[in-house]
Amino acid sequence: MRFIFYVLFLVITGKVTAQESHPKLILTAEDVRGIRENLGTVPIFDNTLEKTVTEVDAEMAFGIDVPKPEHEAGGYTHERHKRNFLFMQKAGVLYQITGQGKYAQYVKDMLLLYAQKYPTWGLHPSKKSYAPGRVFWQALNDANWLVYTSQAYDCIYTFLTKKERSHLEQDLFYPFAKHISEDSPQFFNRIHNHSTWATAAVGMIGLVMDDEKLIQQALYGLKNKEDAVAETALDNDGGFIRTAGKLGFIANLESPFSPDGYLTEGPYYQRYAMYPFMAFAVSLYNATDDTNLFTYKNSVLVKAVGALLQLSNQKGEFFPINDAQKGMSVYAREIIAAVANAYHYGNQDTSLLSVAKAQQRVSLDSAGFAVALAISKNQEQPLKKKSVVYGDGSTGEEGGLAVIRAENTELLYKFTSHGLSHGHYDKLSFMYYVNGEEMVQDYGLARFVNIEQKNGGGYLKENTTWAKQTIAHNTLVVDEKTQFDGSYKDASAHHSNLLFESIINPKAQVVSAIEKNAYPGTIFQRTFFIITDDELQNSLVVDLLHVTSEKQHQYDVPFYYLGQPMEHNIDLLSEKQLLPLGSEHGYQHLWKIAEGKSSNRLMRFNWLNKNVFLTRTLLNQSGDRYILVRTGANDPDLNLRTDPGLILRRNATHTTFISTIEAHGSYSPVSEFAVNSRSQVKDVRAEVTTERYTAVSVTLTSGKQFLLAVANNTKDKSKNHSLTFGAETLSWTGPYYFKSIQ
């Protein structure tokens, strides 16, 4: 709160308290002295420094090239300019730390070339972006350039003469900042990670140049251009550009973050946005003495780092919700920097040190040094990955997501709001991991980031036609249509709701959420129980999907297992020729491999993946059909992976899909031993399935039984329930019931 007043004060008085000494962004003169004094005594920092010297020396030996912009992502000029800003930043830092003039000279030479050429470049020749850059095909990458280059400039500021600085500022930095701000309000004035980059870039160069106007624009947006963009304007991802009344860096810090630090776009984009959030916050802190954005909104920036770490699987890879490329992880450079900043400018949480230690690299700045120093003193504590439930939206009340962890199991359950333009239509979907490996997957995005062969590294058309569609996710599809009928506007107006959660009792964790708007007239509630028990090889997932509708619908519930089917009890009829499963809403991308019914009360599907045996057991109903599919249809450019899936199709009004998922055994191709290759679940029974209650019993082969019940469509924690079936009467208080019986 203190900050808000301070900012208001700034606005009113126009006074900027930026320090005059340099450097002042990610390093200060005082920090530099401390670092120099301790060189050789702080292993991780020293190692990073050594690696960086090697890298930068090799790059300097290669020579400087500032080519006329021509290519998109992955192409030469794009990658060259990207390397340029990354290496200028590194060289600038090396100049400060080592004191060797050659590094400053390298930055200076390159900046002078940019200052000479930039004014001659018009817009980038690619016309694809809603906000084109001049160096890169999109202004976003230009903003990346300035965020990094402002640090380089800050580091060599005192190495330059006043005349040189004046030349660089007038011919390069001011026009550069103008292009990504005043000349591109559709890019600068948004609530979006694009604008975080844009405002941070302008703010950081403003701090270096001590230009109050730029700093104000960065913090609060272009007030004069608030209406410059049409309300219906869309970006390249089909997202709305305007968010009425919200603009500038502070608004971007305020709006998309939940109080717990979850960014509505999901961890892949949160990782990407963390860098400018952090870099500008650090710069403001160092350059102004008293502007500490790290305490803003109850330290949301620090919490955001914790949330990012929790939103990664056992291998450290982010759960790929929304448009997310798989494999991105806590080892990314943005997270290396974010962890250090959260530690140093936050509350010195020593569990962050263990992450930094695993990363084996720190940022070469004040924060990275502090982290390395603390590690050298063995101050790190293990980071505890635990079950978490994050709210979505600025108040945390717009749905959310949960990661339920138990032993080697991780289940991500998504009931968020739409998540801006990179959001998917996947309310109440899940993904399931064992040992950090995807066992039931979310497809992720249809894009190969920075690989030029694939549409210049940009989004592929299949991202829209497949990856965003509901059928691409492990959730309910009604009448073969995408949720919200694929309308971004409608999807953005709604969110799912958490009904209840309990992740305290390790024996039985439960999270339940409801979705009322994705399919008008159809309400669906999904409850996941994760049961952990000595008699189970691994934790057992129980999935209760309760659907209510007055009208008859076709319900599809896809299940994107990864691996090789071992056995099942479906009377599958393999197709002699394959056809796409449908013609729109993503169905056109699925080959129909086989279809069949099961004559058993329980449908069983057993498969092997990454040397783990798994089984899904599902309460079969007469008329249920099972469709084996594989992605890759209508994909002339071979953009899609070809992954398998099993769709359950049921025609019903009200119905409950009851199933379990378990990892119960292992295989070794070296010893050729198969251990517990078959399910530990002997029986699943629907004891009660009414509009008001769902009660299920699960019996293990060992004889042990679990009883689970949900009072449907309520979150009331104080209400008493009583339910009788057979000889059993369950009485409990609150929305759910769990009991284990030997």
Q: Which is nearer to a second copy, 13 or 671 (CB)?
A: 671
Report, in Å, the least distance between residue 325 CB and a second copy: 6
Report, in Å, the least distance between residue 607 CB and a second copy: 9
Q: Which is nearer to a second copy, 135 or 491 (CB)?
A: 135
End-to-end CA distance of the chain: 54
Q: Which is nearer to a second copy, 113 or 674 (CB)?
A: 674
Q: Which is nearer to a second copy, 234 or 572 (CB)?
A: 572
C-alpha separations of 255 from 184, 230, 297, 384, 396 in Å: 21, 21, 11, 28, 10
Report, in Å, the least distance between residue 72 CB and a second copy: 12
Contacts of 183 (CB under 8 A, 6+ apart): none
Report, in Å, the least distance between residue 327 CB and a second copy: 3
Report, in Å, the least distance between residue 384 CB and a second copy: 23
Among the listed residues 150, 271, 166, 152, the one whose alpha carbon sits nearest the alpha carbon of residue 215: 150
The H-assigned helical ranges of 127-223 are: 139-156, 162-168, 174-180, 185-188, 193-209, 212-220
Report, in Å, the least distance between residue 565 CB and a second copy: 4
Report, in Å, the least distance between residue 355 CB and a second copy: 14
Among the listed residues 607, 723, 590, the one whose alpha carbon sits nearest the alpha carbon of residue 662: 607
Q: Which is nearer to a second copy, 35 or 86 (CB)?
A: 86
Q: Which residue type does 94 have?
A: L
Among the listed residues 572, 568, 560, the one whose alpha carbon sits nearest the alpha carbon of residue 597: 572
Q: Which is nearer to a second copy, 286 or 363 (CB)?
A: 363
Map residue 469 onto helix, strand or coil: coil
Buried-exposed string 365-403: b where 16+ CB fall within 10 A, e elsewhere: bbbbbbbbbbbeeeebeebeeebbbbbbbbebebbbbbb
By the 8 A CB rule, do 351 and 386 touch?
A: no
Buried-exposed string 481-513: b where 16+ CB fall within 10 A, e elsewhere: bbbbebebebbbebbbbbbbbbbeeeebbbbbb
Q: Which is nearer to a second copy, 271 or 526 (CB)?
A: 271
As a whole number of angstroms, the distance between CA 406 and CA 386 comes to 8
As a whole number of angstroms, the distance between CA 419 and CA 492 comes to 8
As a whole number of angstroms, the distance between CA 391 and CA 389 comes to 7
- If phi > 0 it is left, if psi is from -120 to 50 it is alpha, else beta; for residue 316 that is left
Among the listed residues 471, 685, 431, the one whose alpha carbon sits nearest the alpha carbon of residue 592: 471
Report, in Å, the least distance between residue 405 CB and a second copy: 23
Estimate the crossing angle of helix 76-98 against helix 139-156, to 10 degrees.
20
Estimate the crossing angle of helix 101-117 against helix 76-98, to 10 degrees.
140
Report, in Å, the least distance between residue 497 CB and a second copy: 33
CA atoms within 13 A on the CB side of 713: 13
Report, in Å, the least distance between residue 328 CB and a second copy: 6
Buried-exposed string 214-223: b where 16+ CB fall within 10 A, e elsewhere: bbbbbbbbbe
Map residue 609 onto helix, strand or coil: strand
Q: Which is nearer to a second copy, 682 or 739 (CB)?
A: 682
H/E stretch holding 724 reads strand 720-725
Identify the sign of the CA torsion 249, 250, 254, 257: positive
Catalytic residues: 269, 422
Q: Which is nearer to a second copy, 142 or 635 (CB)?
A: 635
> How buried is 314 (Cβ within 10 angstroms: 0-12 exposed, 13-18 middle, 19+ buried)?
middle
C-alpha separations of 735 from 512, 513, 540, 693 in Å: 9, 12, 21, 10
By the 8 A CB rule, do 675 and 665 touch?
A: yes
Report, in Å, the least distance between residue 496 CB and a second copy: 29
By the 8 A CB rule, do 321 and 412 touch?
A: yes
Q: Which is nearer to a second copy, 638 or 727 (CB)?
A: 638
Map residue 391 onto helix, strand or coil: strand
Q: Which is nearer to a second copy, 478 or 646 (CB)?
A: 646
Residues that bind a second copy (CB under 8 A): 74, 79, 325-329, 331-333, 448-454, 457, 564-567, 572, 574, 576-579, 591, 593-594, 606, 608, 628, 630, 632, 634-636, 638, 641-642, 644, 667, 669-674, 677-678
What phi, psi does 152 have (nearest 5°)? -65, -45
